[in-house]
Structure 1
Amino acid sequence: MKRGVIILLTVLLLAAFATAQDQYHLTLLAVQETDDGLVGSSADLYLELIPGNGRVFLDTFPATKVDTQFSTRFAKEIACKHFKLDCNRYDFIYTIKSDTSIIGGPSAGAAMAALTTIAVSDLDYTEEIAITGTINSGAIIGPVGGVKQKIEAAAGNNLKKVLIAKGTAKVPPKDNETEGLDLIAYGKDNLSIDVEEVLTLDEVVFQLTGEELNNKPFSLEENPQYQAIMKGLQEALCQRTGEIEADSFGVNLNNDTIKTIAKRKASMENSTSQGDYYSAASFCFANNIQLKREFYQHKQLSPEAMLNIINGLSKKVDLTEEKVRQEKIETISDLQALMVVQERLHDVRQQVKTFTEDNLTKEEQYNLLAYAEERFYSALAWMQFFNMDGARIVVDDDLLKISCQQKISEAEERYQYASLFLSQFQVGHLNDKNDEARAALNHNETALCLIIASQAKADANAILSSFGLTNETEQDLFNSKKEAAGRIIFENSQQGVFPILGYSYYQYAQALQTDELPTSLVYLEYALEMSDFSIYFPEEMTTASRIGEFILQKEIMLLLEGFALGVLITLVLVFMKKKK
């Protein structure tokens, strides 16, 4: 009997602590191919949260494409990061049920991200609205195909509204048509359903819940110390431009080269006048490479002379790397300075290797030599940031290794995802960067690994975000990415963590916006990726905070133990009373 009492008490105790898990639901919209063309259909998306550590599980009926598995993880990751949700407390069980095998992964991404946000935040929401679109970095909603058919499917399922990606409401005319189709008017006039364009996950969540989770206004304020150091870096690189020009006196430049250099100088002066010293430095850096290349071509250096320069450069890199190894990494600024300096020195080493091992033309040798020299000088200039203050962090080799491995994993997932839609020729460079990051990790160059893997992830995000992009939506995408990056920079700055790399790329993207909008979008991806490194490194705790945390943990444990004991005693008394 005692054994029976124990078993019963155990079951009852577990039942007392168990919480019924709510199941969250949204309708998914999809298309399938038939003999008559595309036909819209629907499916059900469910999400259940259980206690865990952030793992993602996907169950589908029937089985779906591999891309659904990737997009599910991306959707959860983006929602958790964008809204700063405490997702590590749960495991996420997503279930997709459909009558036919029609659901492809990317178009369900926005719905998955929205449902993740709703579930973790436990928000009230309507199930009468559907969203079809991808989810991209910066929580941007991307376009998908078959939108007209999906709207028809939504109307057939008695939904009230369909949210579609910005720029997809106007369907261009087909070859035999004179006018295109306005999907907003089509939905209202023909199907009695509202259709609305959205650009961000914030808009989707607001439509579903009426809640504005990221509605706090923010204003970026540049870190004065960053400003002073970057100004010094800009002055060093731009002064070097003058020195190279003086050395190149008498070199005949063609008209195109003269115009290009003059345009960069004008851009440099404009950026400097606005206090955008990183962009100004970048314009000078580009001019330095071009002027140095023209100088070498004019001099017609012998192979021996060029080899002497390359060997001398290699020795300088050795000495600089030894000096960098002596730097103490105590702040996020230190870490990012280490990353950017090591990345530039690594780049120089790669150029040296190419010069000595590959069979290059003389023109290619001049180009490589000029680039390698200026890249090395840039590394020296960036070392000034080792003197910048910032919030102290706990960084050691093991922590950096874990961070690097995580970044490689994130970058690898995005590469595999992009590979589902693009050829190896188009995305092979992403895999090359991942291989570089792994090689750095194997050589215990963890900070170098971290920046290369971050670049690979940002490059992949730029590619994925460009799917379906048109001239009409490019500017909207830029504005949304800019706001997302700006918000991350602001939030980190408020915590005493100024992201020098992220902010630099953020400024440079704006400097390129007018003349090179596609390139500026890539730099915004870099800004997004490199503005929030604090999530990988906990701030160094003071003794007082450690004591406070210990006391709080003890109080919580005592409270839970007392509650559990109270429940157990109550159950025993009830059981014994019934026995009497």
Structure 2
Amino acid sequence: MGVVTDKSYFDAILLLAAALILFSFLPYVSADPFSAAGHITLLAVSENSNNYIESGNTADLYLEIKDGNGKVYLDTFPLSKIDTQLSTRFARDYACHYLDKDCSKLDFFYTIRSDSLIIGGPSAGAAAAVLTIALLDNQKIDQSIAVTGTINSGGIIGPVGSIKAKIAIASANNIKKVLIPKGKRYYLEKESLLLAEHIAKNNENINESRNKTINKPINYTDLNLNISTDLYEYGKEKGIEVKEVLTIDEAMREYTGIDYSINLDEITLDPLYVITMNKIAKDLCERYVKLQQNWKSQHESEGSKENISLYDESILLINRSNIAMSKGQSYAAASFCFGANVNLNTLLFNATLQTAERQNHQLEQLFAAVIKAKNDLNKQELETITDLQAYLVVKERLDEAEDIIKKTLDAVKAIWTIDTANKINITNSLEMESIYYNIAFSAERLYSAYLWSSFINHQGRRFDLNEDVIKEGCIKKIAETEERLQYLHLTYPYEVTDITIGIKKAYDNLHNDNYKQCLSQALKTKAEIDVILSVSGIDDQNLQELLAVKSNVINQIIAKQQKKDIFPILGYSYYEYSQSLADKDISSALIYAEYAIEFSNIEIYLDDKTITNQRNIFNEIRDYLSIDIEMVLVFIIGILAGVFLASRNNQQY
């Protein structure tokens, strides 16, 4: 048997210590530094105060990506407008998300050079996104291609102006192909349109003077004027290919020859979601049957025209609910039954709450129930994304019910004061109908909140959902939404009062320490902004295609989340509701699709920061001391090796 000496123990301990130090530093030893640089051609025009093209030229967009801290830098000559600056930031954000790449340790340096007097407009967004994706993915792009268009949510390439002029500019600068936004092949000629309107106006005046009436509307095509230009044919005349593209996927295929589209996994519905949502839908729809029986037995013969109208509407909603259930759309079915229940309860309250005392009593009971439900909700422990999203649904419903109850209590007081003072019967007035409806809506909101609370069951991947984490997520989302709002103000000519109110609500929740509601409101407001940006300039016939693209994006997001043991119940529910509205209400369908995108991605604002913080500590030490962690590691290993060899030499006789 060999003799184990103290020296052997020392050697073993020394080797173990060296190994532990080596492996403990491995996560912080950076890989080869990331560095990439590239160029893409932009098409730029300038317009005078009357919106006519004065000049145009190409511009050069350069991008250099280096290791850093997630910053975006923009160097332009001449100066750029704020929308150009925001376009580059959106392009970076989209590219990183597109490739599912963590860009928090990379800096992006965008440089634009142009002969124009000032660089402005969002039309560089798609080009910037293409260039950024290509560099992050180490791909070369075809320099003979140019693209014009904005970058919108879901990778949609949005419309821009002056496309015909940009094609001419491309032709004069050796560009072989121009990619334009989908639906913009036929370009409306301003001069021809003005002339057509002038001729039409004259013809209209002639008809009026002769017949005093206009027998038929003027059709501009009857005037034999070329009001629109086929840009495909125009491109051929200029010796250049013009092609419509809808998404960044299509643009990347043109620029790189690579198909970036993903074969999407089918969403596998979480069994617990299916069971719970089916139960909610069944409960709400069975509730309708009971309410219907009550109304029929008591008041059908006495119903006014307004009551009959409400009843008929409830039947239509139930029919839609049945269709939704047959398609497996339980959230949509529950929503339709909810609406039907509100209508029937309105009819019942119309018959049973015809005094101020009864109305006040009903409202006070509802108010007490809402406050109790809120207190119970605040005691719930939230551990998963499902828990958080269920909390947001329940809280929103309770807040809405409380707000309506308070306003209705004030309305009851005001309306019965008028009745007493003027000695008039207001029982069937429009104001009173509104009170009945508000009481019914509040009652059904409270009931649906109770049903949704069953989703708070801690199923799925655990997250650190303390107030600090959610506050940080709220602040990040507000900042992102603010940037989108600035962009909207610069590119959209109309008032967006609802959007402004939405961002204010998010700030109010932040300042009142309501961080969960802050995050939810910011998510919704950004979604509403993205809807406007996405549909702006899109022809009606292309809206269904736009919805299909967004639906594919939602499928992709949810499928990825499921691989992380996350099922975003609210994101999926919004997606399902969007699908149920597609044939009847495309605008609402697009809004709910955007909600689905945002709420399915909520996880990116809530990741546990423990590992990141550890890494940051080492980065801060390295930066502060201006030392290279890798060289320190080599130095430590060298010392340990020297000590080990010295100890071995001392053992030799």
Give 1:380 deviation, angstroms. Answer: 1.0
- Kept in 1, the 8 Å contact 2:148–2:181? The answer is yes
- Kept in 1, the 8 Å contact 2:267–2:555? The answer is yes
What is residue 383 of structure 1 aligned with on the other side?
453
Partner residue of 2:155 out of 122, 125, 139: 139
- Kept in 2, the 8 Å contact 1:86–1:120? The answer is no
Distance 1:127 1:486, change over 3 A: same
Partner residue of 2:39 out of 25, 29, 33: 25
1:43 aligns with 2:59: yes
Distance 1:101 1:272, change over 3 A: same
Amino acid paired to 1:220: I
**For 2:393 and 2:264, how far apart are their aligned partners in 1?**
31
Distance 1:223 1:59, change over 3 A: same
What is residue 349 of structure 2 aligned with on the other side?
296
**For 1:285 and 1:50, how far apart are their aligned partners in 2?**
53
What is residue 443 of structure 2 aligned with on the other side?
373
**For 1:369 and 1:321, how far apart are their aligned partners in 2?**
19
Q: Which runs of 5+ in 1 are unaligned?
A: 1-16, 551-556, 568-580
Distance 1:376 1:36, change over 3 A: closer
Deviations 1:278-314 (A, max 9, x none): 0100111111222223333444633333233222222
1:455 aligns with 2:560: no
Distance 1:433 1:536, change over 3 A: same
Deviations 1:462-488 (A, max 9, x none): 111121021121111011111011100
What is residue 489 of structure 1 aligned with on the other side?
558
**For 1:186 and 1:510, how far apart are their aligned partners in 2?**
38
**For 1:18 and 1:508, how far apart are their aligned partners in 2?**
47
- Kept in 2, the 8 Å contact 1:225–1:388? The answer is no
**For 1:390 and 1:314, how far apart are their aligned partners in 2?**
34
**For 2:358 and 2:71, how far apart are their aligned partners in 1?**
57
**For 1:134 and 1:270, how far apart are their aligned partners in 2?**
38
Alignment of 1:433-452 (within 5 A): 433-452=502-521
Q: Which has the larger radius of gyration?
A: 2
Partner residue of 1:243 out of 283, 290, 294: 290
- Kept in 1, the 8 Å contact 2:129–2:151? The answer is yes
Give 1:144 deviation, angstroms. Answer: 1.0
1:349 aligns with 2:364: no
Alignment of 1:72-471 (within 5 A): 72-101=88-117, 103-172=119-188, 174-175=192-193, 176=196, 177-178=225-226, 180-188=228-236, 190-249=237-296, 250-251=299-300, 252=303, 254=305, 256-299=309-352, 301-356=354-409, 361-387=431-457, 389-422=459-492, 426-471=495-540
Amino acid paired to 2:502: K
Bigger shift: 403-412 or 253-262? 253-262
Amino acid paired to 1:138: G
What is residue 515 of structure 1 aligned with on the other side?
584
Instruction: Report the 3-state secondary structure (helix = DSSP H, G, I; strand = E; otherwise coil) of the residue aligned with 1:391.
Output: coil
Bigger shift: 310-319 or 264-273? 310-319
Distance 1:135 1:343, change over 3 A: same
Instruction: Report the 3-state secondary structure (helix = DSSP H, G, I; strand = E; otherwise coil) of the residue aligned with 2:178.
Output: strand
Bigger shift: 138-147 or 355-364? 355-364
Amino acid paired to 1:208: Y
What is residue 554 of structure 1 aligned with on the other side?
none
TM-score by length of 1: 0.86
**For 2:270 and 2:388, how far apart are their aligned partners in 1?**
17
Distance 1:183 1:102, change over 3 A: farther
Instruction: Report the 3-state secondary structure (helix = DSSP H, G, I; strand = E; otherwise coil) of the residue aligned with 1:387.
Output: coil
**For 1:141 and 1:279, how far apart are their aligned partners in 2?**
30
Deviations 1:300-340 (A, max 9, x none): 63333323322222211211111112211111111111111
Distance 1:559 1:70, change over 3 A: closer
**For 1:558 and 1:97, how far apart are their aligned partners in 2?**
38
Give 1:43 deviation, angstroms. Answer: 1.2
Alignment of 1:46-61 (within 5 A): 46-61=62-77
Instruction: Report the 3-state secondary structure (helix = DSSP H, G, I; strand = E; otherwise coil) of the residue aligned with 1:420.
Output: helix
Deviations 1:363-398 (A, max 9, x none): 433333222222222211110101261111122110
Distance 1:21 1:146, change over 3 A: same
Amino acid paired to 1:373: A
Aligned residues: 541
**For 1:245 and 1:134, how far apart are their aligned partners in 2?**
51
**For 1:18 and 1:273, how far apart are their aligned partners in 2?**
55
Give 1:419 deviation, angstroms. Answer: 2.3
Instruction: Report the 3-state secondary structure (helix = DSSP H, G, I; strand = E; otherwise coil) of the residue aligned with 1:527.
Output: helix
**For 1:432 and 1:286, how far apart are their aligned partners in 2?**
26
- Kept in 2, the 8 Å contact 1:70–1:105? The answer is no
Instruction: Report the 3-state secondary structure (helix = DSSP H, G, I; strand = E; otherwise coil) of the residue aligned with 2:147.
Output: strand
**For 1:56 and 1:36, how far apart are their aligned partners in 2?**
32
Instruction: Report the 3-state secondary structure (helix = DSSP H, G, I; strand = E; otherwise coil) of the residue aligned with 1:87.
Output: coil
**For 1:566 and 1:116, how far apart are their aligned partners in 2?**
39
Identity of aligned residues (%): 36
Distance 1:469 1:346, change over 3 A: same
Give 1:179 deviation, angstroms. Answer: 6.0
TM-score by length of 2: 0.77
- Kept in 1, the 8 Å contact 2:126–2:148? The answer is yes
**For 1:441 and 1:23, how far apart are their aligned partners in 2?**
40
Give 1:120 deviation, angstroms. Answer: 1.9
- Kept in 2, the 8 Å contact 1:404–1:441? The answer is yes
Q: Which runs of 5+ in 2 are unaligned?
A: 1-30, 197-224, 416-430, 618-627, 639-653
Distance 1:29 1:354, change over 3 A: farther
Distance 1:366 1:93, change over 3 A: farther
- Kept in 1, the 8 Å contact 2:342–2:444? The answer is yes
Give 1:357 deviation, angstroms. Answer: 5.1
Amino acid paired to 1:209: T
Amino acid paired to 2:542: T
Give 1:262 deviation, angstroms. Answer: 2.5
Give 1:216 deviation, angstroms. Answer: 3.2
**For 1:302 and 1:273, how far apart are their aligned partners in 2?**
42
**For 2:357 and 2:173, how far apart are their aligned partners in 1?**
76
Give 1:206 deviation, angstroms. Answer: 1.8
- Kept in 2, the 8 Å contact 1:83–1:213? The answer is no
Amino acid paired to 1:248: W
Distance 1:427 1:179, change over 3 A: closer
Give 1:149 deviation, angstroms. Answer: 0.8
**For 2:461 and 2:398, how far apart are their aligned partners in 1?**
26
1:474 aligns with 2:540: no
**For 1:150 and 1:25, how far apart are their aligned partners in 2?**
19
Distance 1:112 1:563, change over 3 A: farther
Distance 1:160 1:253, change over 3 A: farther
- Kept in 1, the 8 Å contact 2:485–2:529? The answer is yes
Distance 1:130 1:563, change over 3 A: farther
Distance 1:320 1:198, change over 3 A: same
Give 1:215 deviation, angstroms. Answer: 2.6
Give 1:32 deviation, angstroms. Answer: 1.5
Amino acid paired to 1:392: R
Distance 1:374 1:483, change over 3 A: same
Instruction: Report the 3-state secondary structure (helix = DSSP H, G, I; strand = E; otherwise coil) of the residue aligned with 2:41.
Output: strand
